[in-house]
């Protein structure tokens, strides 16, 4: 890591990046109905301003050759050995993310003005979106793991609020809760990693931790790496915590685009890339990252092939694509840049695809069932064009963005030059084929074939306020790959963070990889055409299907496993404990009280009320006392 | 005369009184038996006072008599009022103060 | 200014206020409320001024007042605050006016006069301040027991349907603990008489006493049992759900928010410095109780169908965190634990208040009777969410800072316990969000749909909320109206405090830390003495 400079100039104001959207959220939430009329404009304006600021900051950063700037704000928590300063770190890595978040964020804010135009809760929606942008920027700009954790849970909250935006739907409410709780499982990992850092190194700031992590024992570093990975899996919807992400599609579509495709779910990749100095020291943890990435890549792609819900297919596609990114960053120094390039390109095309899906839903009266779509290409020409470009970028059509970034990952995997390199590369190529299959299936079912619309649906193109962001994102999807790989190479920009990119000896020539991947991709497209395009798509999903299809439709039974392994036993345990507490613990106490009361009333029976009984008692007592006295004095 | 005669006599008196309290039903008789016990004690006190040549025992005996007199007043009043309400002086008929 | 007896004033003002309120004629209910509110605001002002007069860098106990009380026993009426006591007094000062405002209609139309409720409330405030500022062991004990009386009457006279049962249970539990503690208090006195030649109850002198480790272990238990009942640690906790559920909302806030903190306060103020060896000896045992409590109570909270019981169980879980922080014996964890006491008071106080407002509308404590309230009452739902998020320690709320400090401070010393405790944050998310989802989200359900509003529970909905047979449709919707102005005035300060303490907790930490360091020093110094 290169020398940190004190922040001066505009960088000293980079805290405004977070403060602006946060202030927007506060105004909208506290202002109440008064802000209904202009609230959405304020929301979009704060994020757009933040984007301009991020661009200016990045320009200044480029001017000082990427030397990171540290912005100290105030003392957050300082007691004993612990000293957490609230501060920001603006370096090339966080700059990339800040640009992505504010850039895509601005577009999606603009899109939402149109998408949510008729929703009575539009102001609340923009407030939550602003809150999300603020929390996400804190996540990527914070200069310590604690700041990251604050942002980390902050985006979790925003995600919860936005998934549950239409909270009167039980499905949305449940999905929001599920997302928050599965994220919390990951958060525990992140928290424990921070505890270990503090216990072993006495600091939680990036500078402090990365500077001294080398002094730790290998096992400890591996533990930190694995715990961070658990956190990353939770946030990024990776195996085994992937099940919440598809359910999160209950939220409004712009949310799916911004949070559950372009930005928040990539936080896990950010975390691993940011913690590169830790992962560089622990091949074991890196191997686990690789395994998680490869496995999730396949799970997501397989599940994506079977769903009929357009948003869920895209969601599983996101799961799968983030698997690629994990795979890349798990490769270590060779893969960081490739992973991040894919992340950025994915931010463009997946956001564009989701916005396109939103436009389709808009036209189809909020239906998400692809079996009731079809033949929309001439009804929604702009949507079709932008969606189509996003589709081509995603499946890796030559010279669009996905082609460059995905190939880079496969190259990096093969460059390991061992058996695992071939396995991972093979998985990645297989994933590319599956991606082509499910995305082509989606395209065919949505835009081509016969119109299978429900009664009374009259598709119409979305207003310009919605299509404009889609066009911008489509341009980004087409161009970002080439830009990031050759025109403004990301590897050069990130050099201050990850060091000089090593000139690897390519095991397989990049051209060959490109050719193979393209061929596999074309095979996937062909298969989809054979299965879906040639035949009539039934309006109802066929019931009698192969076990493979059934498994895929159930997302390889992830929910079933979670339910039978955690939820049911948990409910059972809870009920049992309530019983134990009421009957056992409290019962013991009440039993003691009842026992005391009972014995006292039983003893009370001795009070017969007959004077002579008492007299006898007195006499007996006197005799005993006298006897005792005699025994003592004489004995 | 030996000290023990007086003491044995007092013991016999006390025993008669105690047995009377335990076995008789009539409240008046029980009451008299209580007096008997008190006087047995008085006798003992005076005996020892005499034998030791001090007046302490006699003084206490006087106290006992005063207290006994006061007790008789209160006790008889209670017995009277019970007799008036219940037409009986048997102590087995009055067990209102049970549990 | 520092000569003014701030602490005495903070006990005297509410006590006198209680007498004045109690003496008002029965029909002047409004005046009683206004006087109570005025008095509690004066106490808040006094608490703030006290904080300003307190010098965080100064000696440990400040603003001391001491007059001979029972000279024969060597006991003084000695008051003084360190940082720990000061933040608790501040918490009392903040909570009581809000509780008074929140309970404005609590006793209206009930069988007992309104003034009685507010008189007990003020007397409770006086006793609670006393218990935190006493620096004489006997005086502490007296306040400790005296505190029960107003709370007993608040629960027993103004509570829910099973108030008698709950009040007696509360009283008996506390009294048993108190008596065991009295034995230990006397024991400490006797030991001090043996060592110094003359017995004393003065806290400062007692901390410097070298007590034989075996004796310490016995005396520690007396204090510990009393505090473990009060704070409740599992398995001595079962009185709290009953009391918390049956108490009037205001009483429940003070019960869980402040009164129970006397237990954890006692751990750190009395158990640790007086019995350092015993504290270390019993620490693993206490930590087991704490961690079991965190997980066990959180699971139980999930299984509750009654909102107030649920909140009570969450508190038991949180007390586990506080106990963990105290018995980890590190500055960070100790500071975090004390901060936790404050933040928990605010967060759970808010949660109880909001739940109370919901119950006042729906007339039922059962979660199943609600659903989709957010659509009808967005402000109520928002306040509920903030309180819930504070309860699950989301960053940005004060609770996060304290929970984080407790865990990060305990980890280096007690990694296994800390890891288990950290799992509690998943359960916390579960119980909070389950309750939130079931009451606020989803389609309108339960009381929102009822044609005939069910008879409100006596006391729960304020005795005045009489339900007439069938209300016409427009009035029906009024039953779940959003927060009114008075309720906003109650909720807003708490929400603001929770958020401010979540972003900038350092001023409080600066107050607390010296006292925690002094406590841990006392432990170290005293144990060094016995080793010699």
- For the record, the structure tokens of B31 come out as 């009451």
Q: Which of C462, C287, C293, C433 is nearest to C363 (CA)?
A: C462
| pLDDT of C431 over the 90 cut | yes
Highest mean pLDDT among A352-361, A567-576, C108-117: A352-361
- With cut-offs at 50, 70 and 90, classify the pLDDT of residue A31: confident
CB pair distance less than 8 Å for A82 and C409: yes
**How big is chain A, counted in residues?**
635
Gap between the Cα atoms of A78 and A82, Å rounded: 6
Strand A69-79, strand A5-6: pairing: parallel
| pLDDT of C528 over the 50 cut | no
Nearest to A192 among C372, C394, C422 (CB): C422
CB pair distance less than 8 Å for B97 and A601: no
Crossing angle for the helix pair C506-531 and C83-102, to the nearest 10 degrees: 130
Per-residue confidence (pLDDT) for residue A503, from 0 to 100: 66
Nearest to A612 among B22, B97, B99 (CB): B22
CB pair distance less than 8 Å for C407 and A195: yes
- How confident is the prediction for chain C on average, in pLDDT? 88
Structurally, chain A folds into a number of domains equal to: 1
CA atoms within 13 A on the CB side of A363: 30
A219 by Cβ neighbours in 10 Å (0-12 / 13-18 / 19+) ranks as exposed
Q: Which residue has the higher pLDDT, A71 or C418?
A: C418
CB pair distance less than 8 Å for A609 and B30: no
Cβ-contact C279, C271 below 8 angstroms:
yes
Per-residue confidence (pLDDT) for residue B66, from 0 to 100: 95
Please give the residue of chain A at the shortest CA–CA distance from B23: A612
Q: Which residue has the higher pLDDT, C38 or A566?
A: C38
| pLDDT of A8 over the 80 cut | no
Gap between the Cα atoms of A240 and A566, Å rounded: 13
Residues of A with CB under 8 A from a CB of B: 601, 604-612, 615-616, 619
Chains near C, with 3+ CB pairs < 8 A? A
Q: Which residue has the higher pLDDT, C62 or C453?
A: C62
Q: What are the chain C neighbours of A76 within 8 Å (beta carbons)?
A: 504-506
CB neighbour list of residue A447: distance below 8 Å, 6 or more residues apart: A373, A374, A375, A376, A377, A380, A384, A387, A388
Q: pLDDT by residue (tens digit) across C307-337? A: 999 999 999 999 999 999 999 999 999 999 9
Q: What is the mean predicted confidence (pLDDT) over C490-495?
A: 93
* Range list of H helices, C62-202: 83-102, 114-133, 137-146, 148-158, 163-196
- For the record, the structure tokens of A517 come out as 């991947």
Q: What are the chain A neighbours of C506 within 8 Å (beta carbons)?
A: 74-78
- With cut-offs at 50, 70 and 90, classify the pLDDT of residue C526: very low
Q: Which of A127, A162, A115 is nearest to A468 (CA)?
A: A115
Chains near A, with 3+ CB pairs < 8 A? B, C
CA atoms within 13 A on the CB side of A545: 13
Nearest to A607 among B18, B94, B99 (CB): B99
- With cut-offs at 50, 70 and 90, classify the pLDDT of residue A7: low
Cβ-contact C327, C279 below 8 angstroms:
yes
Q: What are phi and psi of C64, to 5 degrees?
A: -75, 145
- Given the structure tokens 């669009």, which residue do they identify? A400
Domain with A403, as residue range(s), is 167-555
- For the record, the structure tokens of A624 come out as 């005993």
B96 by Cβ neighbours in 10 Å (0-12 / 13-18 / 19+) ranks as exposed
Q: Which residues 511-570 of chain A have a CB within 8 Å of chain C?
A: 570
Q: Which residues 185-204 of chain A have a CB within 8 Å of chain C?
A: 185, 187-188, 191-192, 194-196, 198-199
Per-residue confidence (pLDDT) for residue C479, from 0 to 100: 60
| pLDDT of B98 over the 90 cut | no
| pLDDT of C341 over the 70 cut | yes
CB pair distance less than 8 Å for C394 and A81: no
Q: What is the mean predicted confidence (pLDDT) over C487-499?
A: 93
- For the record, the structure tokens of A128 come out as 């939550």
Q: What is the mean predicted confidence (pLDDT) over A571-579?
A: 87
Please give the residue of chain B at the shortest CA–CA distance from A603: B99
Element (H, E) at C280: helix C276-302
Terminal Cα distance for chain A, rounded: 93
CB pair distance less than 8 Å for A605 and B30: no
| pLDDT of C459 over the 70 cut | no
- With cut-offs at 50, 70 and 90, classify the pLDDT of residue C36: very high
Q: Which of A611, A554, A535, A360 is nearest to A461 (CA)?
A: A360
- Residue A243 within any structural domain of the chain: yes
The minimum CA-CA distance between A613 and chain B, rounded to whole Å, is 8
| pLDDT of A225 over the 90 cut | yes
Q: pLDDT by residue (tens digit) across A453-480? A: 888 888 888 888 899 999 999 998 888 8
| pLDDT of C264 over the 50 cut | yes
- For the record, the structure tokens of C447 come out as 């009381």
Q: Report the percent of chain B where pLDDT is more than 70.
A: 98
| pLDDT of C470 over the 60 cut | no
Cβ-contact A244, A318 below 8 angstroms:
no
Nearest to A195 among C408, C440, C505 (CB): C408
Chains C and B touch (3+ CB pairs under 8 A): no
- Residue A592 within any structural domain of the chain: no
Give the gyration radius of chain A's Cα atoms: 31
Identify from B25, B95, B96 which residue to disrupt to test chain A contact, counting A C-beta atoms within 10 A and taking the largest count.
Answer: B95
Nearest to C303 among A149, A199, A575 (CB): A575
Q: Report the percent of chain C where pLDDT is more than 90.
A: 66
Q: What is the mean predicted confidence (pLDDT) over A429-448?
A: 91
The minimum CA-CA distance between C181 and chain A, rounded to whole Å, is 20
Nearest to A577 among C299, C374, C509 (CB): C299
C458 by Cβ neighbours in 10 Å (0-12 / 13-18 / 19+) ranks as middle
- Residue A520 within any structural domain of the chain: yes
- For the record, the structure tokens of C93 come out as 């000062």
C180 by Cβ neighbours in 10 Å (0-12 / 13-18 / 19+) ranks as middle
| pLDDT of A160 over the 90 cut | yes
Q: pLDDT by residue (tens digit) across A69-128? A: 888 888 898 888 889 988 999 889 999 999 999 999 999 999 999 888 888 888 999 999
Q: What is the DSSP letter of A504?
A: P
Q: Which residues 24-63 of chain A have a CB within 8 Å of chain C?
A: 29
CB neighbour list of residue A49: distance below 8 Å, 6 or more residues apart: A20
Q: What is the DSSP letter of A507?
A: S
Is residue A503 less than 8 Å (CB to CB) from chain C?
A: no
**In 3-state terms, chain C is what percent helix, strand and coil (to 5)?**
75, 5, 25
Cβ-contact C121, C150 below 8 angstroms:
yes
Under DSSP, is residue C260 helix (H, G, I), strand (E, B) or coil?
coil
Q: What is the DSSP letter of A450?
A: S
Gap between the Cα atoms of A258 and C169, Å rounded: 54
Gap between the Cα atoms of C254 and C154, Å rounded: 11
- Residue A462 within any structural domain of the chain: yes
CB pair distance less than 8 Å for C415 and A199: yes
Q: pLDDT by residue (tens digit) across A489-526? A: 888 888 888 877 666 677 778 888 888 889 999 999 99
Q: pLDDT by residue (tens digit) across A297-331? A: 999 999 888 888 899 999 999 999 999 999 999 98
Q: How many CB pairs under 8 A join A and B?
A: 34
CB neighbour list of residue A397: distance below 8 Å, 6 or more residues apart: A403, A521
Per-residue confidence (pLDDT) for residue A629, from 0 to 100: 93
Q: Which of C184, C215, C214 is nearest to C201 (CA)?
A: C184
- For the record, the structure tokens of A174 come out as 């449940």
Q: Report the percent of chain C where pLDDT is more than 70.
A: 92
Q: What are the chain C neighbours of A172 within 8 Å (beta carbons)?
A: 441
- For the record, the structure tokens of C236 come out as 């001595």
CB pair distance less than 8 Å for A184 and C382: no
CB pair distance less than 8 Å for B30 and A616: no
Per-residue confidence (pLDDT) for residue C474, from 0 to 100: 39
Q: What are the chain A neighbours of C407 within 8 Å (beta carbons)?
A: 191, 195
**Bridge-partner residues for A87, per DSSP?**
A72
- For the record, the structure tokens of A331 come out as 């490769």
Per-residue confidence (pLDDT) for residue C260, from 0 to 100: 92
**How big is chain C, counted in residues?**
532
- With cut-offs at 50, 70 and 90, classify the pLDDT of residue C467: very low
Chains near B, with 3+ CB pairs < 8 A? A
Q: Which of C314, C393, C350 is nearest to C95 (CA)?
A: C350
Per-residue confidence (pLDDT) for residue A97, from 0 to 100: 93
CB pair distance less than 8 Å for A609 and B96: yes
Gap between the Cα atoms of C27 and C253, Å rounded: 27
| pLDDT of C137 over the 80 cut | yes
Q: Which residues 63-122 of chain A have a CB within 8 Å of chain C?
A: 74-82
Q: Which residue has the higher pLDDT, A341 or C452?
A: A341
- Residue A119 within any structural domain of the chain: no
DSSP string, B12-80: HHHHHHHHHHHH--BHHHHHHHHHHHHHHHHHHHHHHHHHHT-SHHHHHHHHHHHHHHHHHHHHHHHHH
| pLDDT of C465 over the 70 cut | no
* Range list of H helices, A202-217: 206-212
- Residue A526 within any structural domain of the chain: yes
Nearest to B92 among A604, A610, A619 (CB): A610
CB neighbour list of residue A337: distance below 8 Å, 6 or more residues apart: A408, A490, A491, A494, A498, A501
Q: What is the mean predicted confidence (pLDDT) over C247-259?
A: 92
- Residue A336 within any structural domain of the chain: yes
Gap between the Cα atoms of A153 and A149, Å rounded: 6
Please give the residue of chain A at the shortest CA–CA distance from C437: A173
- How confident is the prediction for chain B on average, in pLDDT? 89
Considering the entire predicted model, what is its pTM?
0.88
Terminal Cα distance for chain C, rounded: 44
Gap between the Cα atoms of A304 and A327, Å rounded: 19
Cβ-contact A268, A238 below 8 angstroms:
yes
The minimum CA-CA distance between A621 and chain B, rounded to whole Å, is 13
Q: What is the mean predicted confidence (pLDDT) over C485-494?
A: 92
Gap between the Cα atoms of C506 and A481, Å rounded: 46
Residue C63: which region, alpha, beta or left (left: phi > 0; alpha: psi -120 to 50)? left
Using alpha carbons only, what angle is made at residue C165 by residues C163 and C170, rounded to the nearest 5 degrees?
90
- For the record, the structure tokens of A545 come out as 């299907």
The minimum CA-CA distance between A629 and chain B, rounded to whole Å, is 18
Give the gyration radius of chain B's Cα atoms: 16
The minimum CA-CA distance between A168 and chain C, rounded to whole Å, is 4
Is residue A19 less than 8 Å (CB to CB) from chain C?
A: no
- Residue A612 within any structural domain of the chain: no
Q: What is the DSSP letter of A216?
A: S
């Amino acid at each position: 890591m290169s020398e940190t400079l004190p922040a001066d100039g505009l960088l000293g104001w980079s805290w405004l990046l977070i403060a602006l959207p946060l202030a927007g959220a506060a105004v909208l939430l506290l202002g109440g109905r008064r802000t209904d009329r202009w609230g959405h404009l304020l929301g979009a304006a704060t994020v757009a301003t933040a984007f301009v600021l991020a661009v200016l900051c990045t320009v200044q950063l480029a001017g000082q050759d990427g030397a990171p700037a540290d912005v100290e704000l105030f003392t957050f928590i300082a007691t004993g050995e612990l000293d957490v300063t609230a501060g920001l770190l603006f370096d090339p890595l966080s700059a990339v993310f800040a640009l992505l978040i504010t850039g895509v964020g601005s577009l999606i804010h603009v899109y939402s003005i149109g998408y949510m135009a008729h929703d009575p809760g539009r102001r609340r929606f923009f407030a939550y979106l602003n809150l999300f942008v603020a929390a996400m920027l804190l996540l990527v700009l914070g200069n310590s793991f604690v700041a990251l954790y604050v942002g980390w849970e902050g985006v979790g909250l925003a995600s919860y609020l936005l998934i549950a935006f239409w909270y009167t739907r039980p499905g949305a409410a449940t999905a929001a809760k599920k997302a928050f709780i599965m994220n919390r499982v990951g958060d525990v990992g992140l928290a424990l990693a921070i505890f270990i850092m503090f216990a072993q190194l006495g600091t939680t700031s990036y500078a402090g931790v990365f500077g001294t992590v080398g002094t730790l024992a290998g096992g400890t570093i591996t533990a930190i790496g694995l715990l961070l990975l658990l956190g990353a899996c939770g946030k990024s919807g990776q195996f085994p915590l992937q099940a919440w992400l598809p359910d999160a599609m209950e939220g409004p579509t712009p949310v799916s685009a911004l949070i559950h495709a372009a930005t928040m779910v990539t936080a896990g990749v950010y975390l691993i890339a940011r913690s590169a100095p830790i992962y560089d020291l622990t091949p074991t943890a890196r191997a686990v990252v690789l395994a998680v990435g490869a496995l999730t890549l396949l799970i997501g792609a397989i599940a994506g092939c079977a769903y009929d819900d357009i948003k869920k297919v895209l969601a599983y596609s996101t799961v799968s694509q983030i698997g690629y990114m994990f795979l890349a960053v798990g490769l270590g120094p060779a893969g960081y840049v490739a992973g991040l390039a894919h992340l950025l390109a994915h931010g463009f095309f997946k956001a564009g695809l989701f916005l396109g899906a939103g436009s389709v839903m808009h036209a189809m009266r909020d239906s998400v069932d692809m079996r009731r779509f079809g033949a929309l290409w001439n009804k929604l020409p702009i949507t079709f064009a932008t969606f189509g470009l996003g589709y081509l970028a995603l499946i890796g059509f030559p010279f669009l963005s996905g082609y460059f970034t995905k190939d880079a990952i496969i190259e990096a995997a093969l460059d390991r030059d061992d058996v695992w390199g071939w396995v991972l590369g093979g998985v990645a190529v297989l994933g590319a084929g599956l991606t082509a299959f499910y995305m082509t299936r989606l395209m065919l079912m949505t835009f081509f074939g016969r119109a299978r619309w429900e009664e009374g649906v009259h598709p119409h193109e979305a207003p310009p306020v919605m299509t404009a962001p889609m066009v911008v994102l489509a341009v980004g999807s087409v161009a970002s790959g080439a830009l990031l790989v050759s025109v403004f190479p990301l590897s050069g920009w990130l050099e201050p963070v990850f060091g000089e990119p090593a000139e690897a000896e390519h095991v397989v020539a990049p051209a060959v990889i490109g050719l193979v991947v393209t061929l596999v991709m074309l095979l996937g497209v062909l298969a989809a055409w054979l299965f879906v395009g040639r035949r009539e798509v039934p309006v109802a999903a066929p019931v009698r299907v192969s076990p493979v299809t059934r498994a895929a439709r159930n997302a390889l039974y992830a929910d079933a496993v979670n339910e039978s392994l955690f939820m049911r036993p948990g409910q059972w345990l809870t009920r049992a404990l309530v019983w134990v507490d009421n009957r056992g613990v409290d019962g013991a106490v009440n039993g003691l009280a009842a026992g005391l009361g009972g014995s006292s009333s039983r003893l009370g029976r001795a009070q017969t009320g007959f004077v002579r009984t008492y007299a006898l008692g007195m006499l007996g007592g006197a005799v005993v006392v006298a006897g005792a006295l005699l025994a003592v004095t004489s004995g | 005369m030996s000290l023990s005669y007086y003491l044995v006599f007092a013991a016999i008196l006390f025993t008669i009184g105690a047995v009377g309290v335990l076995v008789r039903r009539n409240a008046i008789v029980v009451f008299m038996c209580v007096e008997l016990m008190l006087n047995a004690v008085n006798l003992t006190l005076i005996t020892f006072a005499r034998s030791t040549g001090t007046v302490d025992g006699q003084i206490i005996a006087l106290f006992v008599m005063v207290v006994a007199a006061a007790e008789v007043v209160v006790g008889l009043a209670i017995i009277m009022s019970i007799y008036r309400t219940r037409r009986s002086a048997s102590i087995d008929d009055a067990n209102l103060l049970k549990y | 200014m520092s000569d003014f007896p701030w602490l005495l004033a903070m006990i005297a003002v509410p006590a006198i206020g209680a007498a004045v309120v109690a003496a008002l004629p029965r029909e002047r209910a409004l005046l009683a409320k206004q006087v109570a509110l005025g008095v509690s605001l004066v106490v808040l002002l006094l608490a703030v001024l006290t904080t300003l007069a307190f010098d965080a860098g100064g000696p440990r106990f400040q603003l001391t007042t001491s007059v001979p009380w029972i000279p024969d026993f060597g006991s003084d009426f000695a008051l003084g605050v360190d940082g720990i006591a000061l933040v608790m007094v501040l918490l009392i000062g903040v909570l009581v006016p809000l509780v008074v405002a929140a309970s404005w209609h609590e006793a209206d139309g009930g069988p007992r006069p309104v003034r009685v409720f507010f008189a007990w409330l003020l007397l409770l405030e006086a006793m609670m301040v006393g218990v935190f500022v006493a620096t004489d062991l006997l005086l502490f004990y007296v306040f400790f027991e005296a505190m029960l009386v107003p709370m007993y009457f608040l629960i027993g006279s103004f509570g829910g349907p099973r108030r008698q049962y709950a009040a007696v249970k509360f009283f008996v539990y506390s009294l048993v603990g108190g008596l065991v503690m009295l034995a230990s208090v006397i024991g400490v006195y006797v030991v001090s008489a043996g060592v110094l030649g003359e017995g004393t109850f003065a806290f400062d002198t007692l901390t410097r006493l070298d007590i034989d480790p075996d004796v310490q272990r016995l005396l520690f238990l007396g204090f510990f049992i009393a505090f473990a009942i009060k704070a409740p640690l599992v398995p001595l906790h079962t009185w709290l759900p009953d009391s918390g559920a049956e108490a009037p909302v205001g009483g429940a806030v003070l019960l869980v928010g402040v009164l129970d903190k006397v237990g954890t306060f006692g751990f750190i103020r009395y158990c640790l410095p007086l019995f350092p060896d015993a504290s270390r000896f019993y620490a693993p045992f206490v930590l087991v109780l704490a961690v079991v409590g965190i997980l066990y109570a959180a699971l139980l909270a999930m299984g509750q169908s009654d909102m107030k019981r649920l909140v009570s169980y969450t508190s038991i879980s949180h007390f586990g965190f506080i106990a963990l922080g105290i018995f980890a014996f590190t500055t960070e964890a100790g500071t975090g634990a004390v901060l936790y006491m404050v933040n928990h008071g605010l967060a759970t106080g808010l949660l109880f208040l909001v739940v109370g407002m919901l119950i006042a509308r729906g007339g039922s404590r059962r979660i199943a009777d609600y659903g989709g309230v957010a659509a009808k009452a967005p402000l109520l739902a928002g306040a509920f969410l903030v309180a819930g998020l504070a309860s699950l320690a989301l960053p940005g709320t004060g609770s996060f800072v304290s929970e984080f400090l407790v865990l990060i401070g305990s980890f280096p010393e007690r990694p296994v316990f800390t890891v288990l405790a950290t799992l509690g944050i998943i359960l916390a998310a579960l119980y909070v969000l389950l309750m939130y989802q079931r009451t606020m989200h989803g389609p309108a359900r339960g009381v929102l749909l009822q044609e005939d509003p069910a008879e409100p529970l006596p006391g729960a909905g304020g005795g005045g909320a009489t339900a007439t047979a069938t209300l016409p449709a427009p009035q029906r919707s009024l039953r779940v109206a959003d927060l009114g102005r008075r309720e906003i005035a109650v909720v807003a300060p708490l929400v603001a405090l929770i958020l401010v303490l979540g972003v900038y907790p350092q001023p409080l930490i600066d107050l607390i830390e010296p006292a925690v360091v002094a406590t841990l020093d006392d432990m170290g110094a005293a144990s060094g003495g016995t080793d010699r």
